[in-house]
Amino acid sequence: MRNDRIEGKWIAAFQRVFELSKVQPGDVVAILSESQSRALNVQLAELALLAIGARPFHVMVPTAKQTAKVPIRSTGASYAIQKLEPVIKALASSSMVVDCTVEGMMHAPETPAIMQAGGRILYVSNEHPELLERCLPSTALKQKVQDGIALFSRSKSFRVRSAAGTDLTIDVTGAPCGGSWGYCDAPGLLDFWPGGLVACFPPAGAVNGTLVMDRGDINLTFKRYLEQPVRLRIEQDYIVAIEGDGLDAELMRSYFAVWGDREAYASSHVGWGMNPAARWDGLVMYDKGDINGTEQRAYAGNFLYSTGANEVAGRYTLGHFDLPIRACTMHLDDTCIVKDGVLQGALA
């Protein structure tokens, strides 16, 4: 479908994101990749940094051996570095790390050490550059995301409902909240492109109710639109029933069970999408190998429910689902932030 060659427009897109990230001439910037990274994005990152006048250098490591029983996708927890101290020191000494690993360093064990000296990390999601170009970030998106984070941070209750049958109540009192707008323009920041997401990690026992994934909703771990509804019953954070007669429910039950780990059934983070350039229907236009699903996490007005690790609740597991849900109505305390899948008020 596409010829994977370097295009001037893609160099320009990378350059724009680096300029928003305040990369200056002379800045020493590390480009982190692994043997299975998308080579085209690694090359585009180098050329864009050179166009700015920065001084990029590459750190490339072999992709780690897979130890899980099943394929793992889109976790944000790369194991590429394998705790190699020389790699950590090299990355920590740079002003910014352009993260081109397959899974990304958002939840990687080495990330705190890399950032402790005041550096910052921008994860270029493992997407085809055509998608990255289409989902360029903006300063306006950053402001909207920051408004959402502020609203989330001062709220106590997050209520999510839908005509399909979703009815979740989530206690977010004191929950750590954050967001992504697609670039990192200050020391100590970690962000990812495409951006446009507000989320929090609720404390233990905070998530209760029913989540209904309807036809057309997305299971991003499988990079698959649902064709039949799946109903998840959640008690004290844990999915206690996966109901549905179709293949979608059967696949989810199988993937959950293979971990043999109760924590895989637990709630991880919750939030909503903010990016008007991201598309719910974009997934259908790409082969699975061309995408990482970050666009579908960020499309405006989706409710994002994730399962798996939640450090705030003291839970750790490799099992993970990201499930963006359409047409939900969301309230933070008494404020409606999304109505039937459409952002409201100052967030619109």
Per-residue pLDDT of 135-180, as tens digits, reads 999 999 999 999 999 999 999 999 999 999 999 999 999 999 999 9
Say whether both 162 and 125 belong to one domain. Answer: no
Between residues 69 and 49, the one the model is more confident about: 49
**Does residue 125 fall inside a structural domain?**
yes
- Domain-embedded: residue 122: yes
92 and 161 fall within a common domain: no
> Does 204 lie in the same domain as 101?
no
| Predicted pLDDT at 67 | 81
Task: Identify whether residues 128 and 160 lie together within a single domain.
Answer: no
| Domain final residue, candidates 117, 134, 151 | 134
Cβ–Cβ < 8 Å for 137, 181: yes
In this structure, the answer to whether residues 119 and 200 fall within a common structural domain is no
Give me the pLDDT at residue 279, please. Answer: 97
**Per the domain annotation, does 3 fall within a domain?**
no
Find the mean pLDDT for residues 41-47: 98
Q: Which residue has the higher pLDDT, 2 or 117?
A: 117
Using an 8 Å Cβ cutoff, are 199 and 269 in contact?
A: yes
Q: Is the pLDDT of residue 316 over 90?
A: no
Is there a single domain that holds both residue 105 and residue 232? no
Mean pLDDT is lowest, of 69-83, 253-267, 285-299, for: 69-83
The predicted structure's pLDDT at residue 172? 97
Same domain, 126 and 272: no
162 & 95 share domain: no
Please indicate, yes or no, if residue 1 is contained in any of the structural domains: no
- β-pairing, 177-180 with 197-200? antiparallel
2 pLDDT band, cuts 50/70/90, is low
Q: The domain spanning residue 18 has which CATH number?
A: 3.40.50.2300
Total domains in the chain come to 2
Q: Does 324 map to a domain?
A: yes
Query: By three-state DSSP, how is residue 34 classified?
Result: strand
Please state, rounded to an integer, the average pLDDT across all residues of the chain. 95
Question: Which 3 state secondary structure label does DSSP give 52?
Answer: helix
pLDDT category of residue 73 using cuts at 50, 70 and 90: confident
Q: Comparing C-alpha atoms, which of 206, 199, 210 is closest to residue 157? A: 206
Are residues 12 and 64 located together in one domain of the fold?
Answer: yes
Question: At residue 52, what are phi and psi to the nearest 5 degrees?
Answer: -75, -25
Confirm whether 186 is domain-assigned.
no
Alpha carbon distance 219, 296 (integer Å) = 10
- Top mean pLDDT of 10-19, 61-70, 77-86 is at 10-19
Q: Does 79 share its domain with 164?
A: no
- Tell me, yes or no, whether 162 lies in a domain: yes
Q: Do 66 and 17 belong to one domain? A: yes
For the cut 70, the answer to whether the pLDDT of residue 1 exceeds it is no
Q: Tell whether 269 and 286 lie within a shared domain.
A: yes
Whole-model pTM: value is: 0.94
User: Which of 96-100, 107-111, 252-256, 327-331 is predicted with the least confidence, judged by mean pLDDT?
Assistant: 107-111
Q: Is the residue at 284 inside a domain?
A: yes
Residues of the chain above pLDDT 70, percent: 99
Identify residue 160 by its one-letter amino acid code. V
Residue 28: give the domain boundaries: 8-134
